[in-house]
Amino acid sequence: MDYSRLIEKALKGDRLATGRLLSIVERDPRGASMVLESLPEREGYHVIGVTGIAGSGKSTLLSRLLTHYADKGYRCAVVAIDPSSAYSRGALLGDRIRMQMHATNPNIFIRSVSTRGLKGGLSFAGVAMIDVFGRLGYDKVFIESIGVGQADVDIMRIADTIVVVTVPGLGDDIQALKAGVMEIGDIYVINKVDKDREGANKTMEYLLFAIEAGELGHRGWRPRIVKTSAVLDEGIDELIDAIEEHYRFILGTGRYGSGRERRREILVRLLAEKMLIDALESIEIETGKDLYEGALELLRRVTARYVDTTGGGEA
Amino acid sequence: MTITETERIKVLVAKLGLDGHDRGAKVVARALRDAGFEVIYTGIRQTPEQVVEAAIQEDVDVIGVSILSGAHMTLMKRLMELLREYGADDIPVFLGGTIPVPDIEPIKRMGVREVFLPGTSLREIVEMIRQAGLERRKRRGW
Amino acid sequence: MTDYREDFLKKLRDKVEKWERETLPKSLSRYPERMERFTTLSGIEIKRIYTPLDIKDTHYLERIGLPGEYPYTRGIHATMYRGRIWTMRMFSGFGTAEDTNKRLKFLVEHGETGLSLAFDYPTLLGIDSDDPMAHGEVGVTGVAVDTLKDMEIIFDGIDLGKVTTNMTINPPAPILYSMYLAVAEKQGVPREKIGGTTQNDPLKEFIAQKSYIFPPEPAVKIAMDLVEYSVRNTPKWNPISISGYHIREAGSTAVQELAFTLADGIAYVRHLVERGHDVDSFAHRLSFFFDSHINFFEEIAKFRAARRMWAKIMKEWFGAKKERSLWLRFHTQTAGVSLTAQQPYNNIVRTAIEALAAVLGGTQSLHTNALDEPYRVPSEFAAKIALRTQQIIAYETGVADVVDPLAGSYYVEWLTDKIEEEAWRYIERIERMGGMIEAVRKGYPQKELTEASYRFQKEVEEGIRKIVGVNIFTEEDEEEVRNVPLLDIDPNEVEERQIRRLREVKRGRDSARVESTLNNLRDAARRGENIVPYILEAVKAYATEGEIMNVLKEVYGVWTEPIIY
């Protein structure tokens, strides 16, 4: 297949070509590395993770962020990661539903990725796509996931800036808040303030207390807190200011580069995992064996290859 | 060479038009998932522009459209025109819903691969979509 | 404790056991049963025979009683159809206001006793006909209404003091209600005299019909504004029709339909009580709307259980004192979803059976579907057969001559109890979640429906559920399908005509007055006031439906549904 023409078109902003290029990235790691190598290096694209506690309205908030960023002329991409699909079965990706109103916005490109049962929720394709979008000229690459718990935290760690969405009235159950996503934010949003102004103050107090106590924030960054009502489109520009402030902070302190390094490391690890899973899947399909038996079969074949030097190069 | 990814056909299930009758679309989406497809569902109240954009951004192999609002003639015509404009008319399109029999032929002439009337079995739908998806993948050399 | 004498029950138990030992095996060996397990359409397992043993704990006086008396299991009126036949209300409306006006007059001439308006999708969603989203949908599944002008034409020559009108409209209900009020005013009909129904049931939109616009909380607030206003100003109007129909059509079981509908009702009553209204000041104006599906006895049992449950809820949960507050008055529509595109004339038979179930279940009004509805809005021919079906049931069969004739049937009473028991379980679960508004936000009933409809479809595929013409007795070449006469409408022509009128109205109106009424509405909404009086003013200034809805969207926001399959 002639990739160069697709790449040329995608660099010019052709959406059909971009979509097809992403499929090459998704299809196999060889294609992914080829696409990445063929695209010019580009500095400064900003990877933003949006996550939050259940019922915080983070999808609506992300939607508002997209509208505001796109209106300001930024090119935005969304990688919507769905870690819920089971291994070696089909997948139903529903994240798009909540972002379809942006489908026709020329400044916004949305792509869904299923992780196909890989632990941790990250997939090789998902991570590779982020940098493909960056190199294709997108300014803001958003990561969104419908994952929960540790899977979600793992996904968010590949972002340069993490936005954690919370709700009014937090603080009563501090234990529940201690774990997981509440700890990773660079920016905390108190959404739905229109519903409960008093409760919003309570959450604010709680977050401030946690920040003062040194429980939140890391490496010289003091997390920002922003109040919003995504439904009523209030506080979004303030949120963007906070995100941009963090962006300038990581550029200024050299943390931007380390974010990219982290993605590369993760890619290598995921590549190894992916190769193993792919090999197992082929065996599963070929022989009808389940995952465990498939692993044994793989082991047998690998051993056989080392022992039987006459075997061909088939993997 | 990984076998499953080649067979993992991507389908966009789209509710075109203003009706909210998503029962059929959801049942088909689930049946496709259970049959090993990767399904992207658009949600309700979609315009032809939104559906075509979703299809090319996700680079799907097949588009399955559901319409129960009676606006199928206008909406499908527009959808097929847009696919041609974008150069994405290699994606096979299927339509399901309350479609009067006399409308089926004109819709197929627009380039719609097949029209599924109420009562069509899931097995039949899944099989036809699989065939169409595999054919498209073959054409792309996958 | 039981209504039966213990020695009788013992004798009966012995007799049944003996029957099972002796009579049954002989029969089973000669005629094995068709299936291992028999279930209702909702999946309730049913036995081959029911006896007094199955209802021995159902105290007649408390649980069944007499018609017109608590708990109203046998009907809300003492004489039921011996006094007055149910209202035959046929849902109709298509094209522009002129087309619908003609159809309404046609139905009135053929003896219809109540009107029922269907609106097109743009109207249902509060979008004007010239909005790009409306393209292709204008006047297709109902009549297009953009401004008061359209409603004036729809009811031209129809005296609003003499007919009652049902309007199937939800988020924009206060707008359409206000238009109706304005037309009545122009005709010189006093407000106290106008009668009819606005569906105005936002919660089932989230669960099933999906014509939602606002998020659940403001959606309920707006709907209850209309209830509040209507109770005070139009005492004969039913400002809400709490609807299970759409829930059922979207794939629920009969039990889910019943439970979710009553849970919606509970949420509304609770909202109004929290606003400071005495329950007896509005409860008598709440009405309901159910589906009548094809599993005959299950439907009858569902209707009977519904009345008993609602009476209990109103009396025991909300402390209602007035008799009318306890009544579950309901409209029924036969199941559109049970109709088949294949062999369409069979649909006449399905509809007749479903209509019979609704009548035996004690409905107050009834819509019978036309045979061509799997395809599109009914033709005049098909709509007439559907209406005649009701007339035959009413005047020929004699079923309307006795009140609740199936009471005391061991099977029907058992099934009524069973459905009630299962519905309570759902209601309790929803209560534990914090009520229906919370449940809907979490997607709980939506998820239940998706599961149920997928399960049903699988059963059809596997042949467990049999549908004539679909998976049994199918025909290859269906000549009759091709020959069904369909209503011929040209959507493009309708759209053009409608947009032309909308532009004319906009040109001819006082735009300063439109703007000021819309501003007043916005301010009132922000202050949290009842918005209906302000909508009425905007409507009279010929503000469009879309303009009014946009103001409300600004204040209340819009809803996107949680991801559920």
> Are A232 and C557 a contacting pair at CB < 8 A?
yes
pLDDT value, residue A271 = 82
Q: Which residues in chain B touch residue A98, judged by CB atoms under 8 angstroms apart?
A: 43
Nearest by CB: C215 against A59, A146, A231? A231
Closest approach of C157 to chain B, Cα-based (Å): 29
The closest of B55, B14, B140, B64 to A27, measured between CA atoms, is B140
Task: Report CA-CA distances (Å) from C23 to C16, C32, C54, C99.
Answer: 10, 13, 20, 63
φ, ψ of residue C180 to 5 degrees: the values are -60, -45
Tens-binned pLDDT, residue by residue, of chain C (565 aa): 689 999 999 999 999 999 999 999 999 999 999 999 999 999 999 999 999 999 999 999 999 999 999 999 999 999 999 999 998 887 777 778 998 999 888 877 877 768 889 999 999 999 999 999 999 999 988 999 999 999 999 999 999 998 899 999 999 999 999 999 999 999 999 999 999 999 999 999 999 999 999 999 999 999 999 999 999 999 999 999 999 999 999 999 999 999 999 999 999 999 999 999 999 999 999 999 999 999 999 999 999 999 999 999 999 999 999 999 999 999 999 999 999 988 999 999 999 999 999 999 999 999 999 998 887 778 888 988 999 999 999 999 999 999 999 999 999 999 999 999 999 999 999 999 999 999 999 899 999 999 999 999 889 988 889 999 999 999 876 666 666 666 667 778 899 999 999 999 999 999 999 999 999 999 999 999 999 999 999 999 999 999 999 999 999 999 987 776 5
Q: Do residues C369 and C281 touch, judged by C-beta distance below 8 A?
A: no
Per cent of chain A over pLDDT 90 is 44
Q: Which residues in chain B touch residue C251, judged by CB atoms under 8 angstroms apart?
A: 23, 27
Cα(A26)–Cα(A20) distance, integer angstroms: 10
Cα(A64)–Cα(A291) distance, integer angstroms: 42
Between B101-109 and B72-86, two packed helices, what is the crossing angle to 10 degrees? 10
Domains and CATH numbers, chain A: 1-32 (no CATH), 41-256 (3.40.50.300), 265-306 (no CATH)
Tell me whether A59 touches chain C (CB under 8 Å): yes
Cα-only R_g, chain A: 21
Closest approach of B80 to chain A, Cα-based (Å): 16
Q: Compute CA A243 distance to the chain's CA centroid, rounded to the nearest angstrom.
A: 16
The closest of C129, C122, C175, C229 to C538, measured between CA atoms, is C175
> Position of tokens 């998706």?
C450
Environment class of A156 (CB within 10 Å of its CB; exposed 0-12, middle 13-18, buried 19+): buried
pLDDT value, residue C45 = 96
Nearest by CB: A97 against C441, C557, C563? C563
Cα(C268)–Cα(C225) distance, integer angstroms: 11
pLDDT value, residue A260 = 83
Q: Which two tokens stand for residue C142?
A: 């109902």
Nearest by CB: C563 against A94, A231, A233? A94
Domains and CATH numbers, chain B: 3-139 (3.40.50.280)
ipTM, 2 dp: 0.93
Q: Are strands A161-166 and A46-52 parallel, antiparallel or unpaired?
A: parallel
Cα(A218)–Cα(A165) distance, integer angstroms: 18
- pTM summary value: 0.88
Tell me whether C482 touches chain B (CB under 8 Å): yes
Q: Do residues A221 and A233 touch, judged by C-beta distance below 8 A?
A: no
Could you tell me the pLDDT band of residue A178, with boundaries at 50, 70 and 90? low
pLDDT value, residue A172 = 63
Neighbours of C332 (CB within 10 A): 29
Could you tell me the pLDDT band of residue B3, with boundaries at 50, 70 and 90? very low
